[in-house]
Structure 1
Amino acid sequence: MDLRRLTILHSNDIHGDFFAKENHDNLVGGISMLSGYIHKVREKEENPVLYVISGDMLQGSIIDQEYKGISTILVMNMLEPDVVTLGNHELDYGLAHLMFLERCANFPIVNANLYIKPTETNLFKPYHILEIDGIRILFIGIITEEVIAKSKSEPLIGSFICIEEAAREVEYICNSYKDIDIDLTVLLTHIGFDQDLLLAQLLPKEIGVDLIIGGHSHTILEQPAQQNDILIAQVGSGTDQIGRFDLQINMDTNSIHDFSWQTIPINDQHCPHDPVMDELLNNYQAEIDGKYNTVICRLPRELEHGSRFRETELGNLFADILNYQLGVDIVMLASGSIRKTTLP
């Protein structure tokens, strides 16, 4: 039996979580220590190591917003992901700007369900095949319907509008390469954990999908779900943790012989800082502070925004500000646009 080992590290919904946070006596998260961990694993492991991202690199940080995602893509370039799929927030700056960001990326971005209607041409590569240490891996990207809804404002852009059609597209791609010796097939999705489960149910076993590495629902798992012999994983959001698959691949049957998976905490107990990344991020932060780090008022007490699903003091404050500034009768504020839980 020809068994090969492969490690896949994965993130999703990073959302501009660039800087570490203090948690008791530890530093937790941040791109610098995430980069340090990824590079440490790549250097120490004897078996090949891949790093993938399942969408939503953008938004969540003023550094991202100030540079319309260009800063984030440059940061991601330093993380050196092997393949990435789109999330809904990748379209926040518009489709044309997203195409520009793709040109800035030093890594492949895959998506199988956005295309140009008249010619049925994919906007992005629908899949990417990597060969490493003799292991041939097929990555396919699938995106959430939220992006589909946004793209409908572009009359020449279409998409597969339901999970059933996405499943058929995955089947079509897999069947197109059935004569090639694909050893591992991985779907990078940004459709949410429940939809990942449904997608796995809809996929015929004979097309050989092995893994779904997902995003969008910010789901934390103790162990990967298994549906229709497909392993499904997701690793919350931000940079406080990273997912890790250690796989044994049966090269004779093109399937996973054995695996382990864990959520690795990103903290200063075992993750070195990346000094080059620190320098880049500190330069961005200095530019942002020079422009925005000004006290405009002080609150008599801390205001909270502890949940997106109820009225909060911080939400009311922002709604009142918009109401006063714009002179409108009703303000409807997207709760998720408030990224912090408190304002001191």
Structure 2
Amino acid sequence: MKRRPIYRLILIFTLILVQILFSQNLEKILILHWNDFHSQNIPMRSICGDSTCYIGGIANLLGLINKFRNEEKNVLVLNAGDDFQGTPISSLTKGRSQIELMNLINPDAMTLGNHEFDYGRDALEENLKIAKFEVISANLWDKRKGKLFVKPYIVKKLGKAKIGVIGLITPELFKLSLKENLKDLELLNTERVLKQYINELKNKEKVDLIIALTHIGVNEDSILATKFPEIKIIIGGHSHTVLQEPKIVNNVIICQAGSRGEYLGYLEVSIDLDGDSVYSYKGKLIRVINGIVKPDETALKKVEELEKMVDKEFGQVIGKLEVDWKRNFYGESNLGNWEADVMREFAKN
């Protein structure tokens, strides 16, 4: 008989707790992300457990993204840059192949990486004309046009939540790219533009959550988190970091998904709409293994079409080897000598 008051107190406390939880104005969203794809459009051979497997590839990546798009209501798809450069097709088409393939994925936003400028700003501008998705970067100024090279941010409504996503390119862009590829471009001060657009997103756009979509590397993302706690989530690239779980700095959630499409980043977030904050989250990386989902058929056909271009271009016989080529990491080799001779002849030295 004496225990009844305790049970009543526990029951009352439980009911109050349930009421508080259900009275909160929450909205769940799912963020899918990848970075530093480097035109790895076809799967790569790898090791899965004790056996050989194939990972990545644009068709497998899109198949996995579409699986979640079909299963979940509020899905935000983000690409953190460096989709260009890495395989022959990107160089043959000067990046156009990657824009055509990303049109099939149709991310909500992509930020620019330094390798997007490997074929020059003019080639990139031509490619972006056919892009059916948003490309953002808040800290890259076009002196030729007197405005930002691309738009600084997007605002996306997902369910009841209004999300602002700001793009950032690496401040080391001019150290990483050829000067002639960056004609009439200028980097703006990262902290200054962030203050400007955070203020604009909060006071003008009235967003519930601010995400930074960056191509600056995980260490710089961590510094950014200490200075701008108004940014609740950072989806990053550039350093090719495999963050199997999100890194938390100053209560900011930092994510990055390795490189070359080996992983798809998965971040499930509950947003407190009244407090404009993250109420809870769950993040991981999903390895994109051939066969875990049905690959996207349209992407498969497009990749096959593009690879035929590579075969045609690189299928020409330009010489015949009379002896095997061998390489030596610690001294001279016939392959190393040949490469050095070719570079010297090209440089006319």
- TM-score interval, smaller chain: 0.7 to 0.9
Change (3 A) 1:96 1:155: closer
Partner of 1:178: helix, strand, or coil? helix
Change (3 A) 1:313 1:2: farther
CA distance in 1, matches of 2:128, 2:166: 17
Which letter maps to 1:157?
Answer: L
Q: 1:338 maps to what in 2?
A: none
Which of 31, 47, 51 in structure 2 is aligned with 1:8? 31
How many Å apart are 1:292 and its aligned residue? 0.8
How many Å apart are 1:15 and its aligned residue? 0.2
The answer to whether structure 1 residue 36 and structure 2 residue 60 are counterparts is no
Partner of 2:59: helix, strand, or coil? helix
- Equivalent residue runs for 1:52-71 within 5 Å: 52-71=78-97
Change (3 A) 1:72 1:155: closer
Change (3 A) 1:118 1:22: closer
Residue by residue over 1:237-261, the C-alpha shift from the partner in whole angstroms, topping out at 9 and shown as x without a partner, is: 0111111101111111111100011
Change (3 A) 1:200 1:103: same
Change (3 A) 1:317 1:284: farther
How many Å apart are 1:314 and its aligned residue? 9.7
Change (3 A) 1:168 1:270: same
CA distance in 2, matches of 1:319, 1:325: 10
The answer to whether structure 1 residue 326 and structure 2 residue 349 are counterparts is no
Change (3 A) 1:26 1:303: same
Q: 2:195 maps to what in 1?
A: 171
Q: 1:157 maps to what in 2?
A: 185
Which letter maps to 1:253?
Answer: G
Q: 1:279 maps to what in 2?
A: 301
Residue by residue over 1:154-176, the C-alpha shift from the partner in whole angstroms, topping out at 9 and shown as x without a partner, is: 5643222xxxx312211111112
The answer to whether structure 1 residue 253 and structure 2 residue 281 are counterparts is no
CA distance in 1, matches of 2:263, 2:332: 28
Asked if 2 retains the 8 angstrom alpha-carbon contact of 1:26 and 1:269, the reply is no
Q: 1:104 maps to what in 2?
A: 130
Residue by residue over 1:86-110, the C-alpha shift from the partner in whole angstroms, topping out at 9 and shown as x without a partner, is: 0000111111221111111100100
CA distance in 2, matches of 1:300, 1:278: 35
Residue by residue over 1:191-243, the C-alpha shift from the partner in whole angstroms, topping out at 9 and shown as x without a partner, is: 1111111122222x3xx211111111111123211112211111110111111
Q: 2:45 maps to what in 1?
A: 22
- Equivalent residue runs for 1:56-205 within 5 Å: 56-117=82-143, 120-149=146-175, 150=177, 156-160=184-188, 165-179=189-203, 180-203=205-228, 205=229
Q: 2:249 maps to what in 1?
A: 227
* Stretch moving more, 291-300 or 277-286: 291-300
The answer to whether structure 1 residue 267 and structure 2 residue 324 are counterparts is no
* Stretch moving more, 66-75 or 167-176: 167-176
How many Å apart are 1:43 and its aligned residue? 0.6
TM-score with structure 2 setting the length: 0.83
CA distance in 2, matches of 1:169, 1:311: 49
Which letter maps to 1:187?
Answer: A
CA distance in 2, matches of 1:119, 1:290: 39
Change (3 A) 1:167 1:211: same
Partner of 1:55: helix, strand, or coil? coil
Q: 2:310 maps to what in 1?
A: 288
CA distance in 1, matches of 2:258, 2:66: 21
CA distance in 1, matches of 2:239, 2:195: 24
Asked if 1 retains the 8 angstrom alpha-carbon contact of 2:62 and 2:105, the reply is yes
Larger Rg: 2
How many Å apart are 1:275 and its aligned residue? 1.3
> What RMSD over aligned residues (CA atoms) do the two structures have, in Å?
2.5
How many Å apart are 1:25 and its aligned residue? 4.4
Change (3 A) 1:325 1:27: same
Which letter maps to 1:18?
Answer: N
Asked if 2 retains the 8 angstrom alpha-carbon contact of 1:248 and 1:256, the reply is yes
Partner of 2:345: helix, strand, or coil? helix
CA distance in 2, matches of 1:117, 1:249: 38
How many Å apart are 1:151 and its aligned residue? 8.0
Which letter maps to 1:300?
Answer: D
Which letter maps to 1:235?
Answer: A
CA distance in 1, matches of 2:223, 2:240: 17
* Stretch moving more, 268-277 or 55-64: 268-277
Number of matched residues?
Answer: 317
Asked if 1 retains the 8 angstrom alpha-carbon contact of 2:328 and 2:336, the reply is no
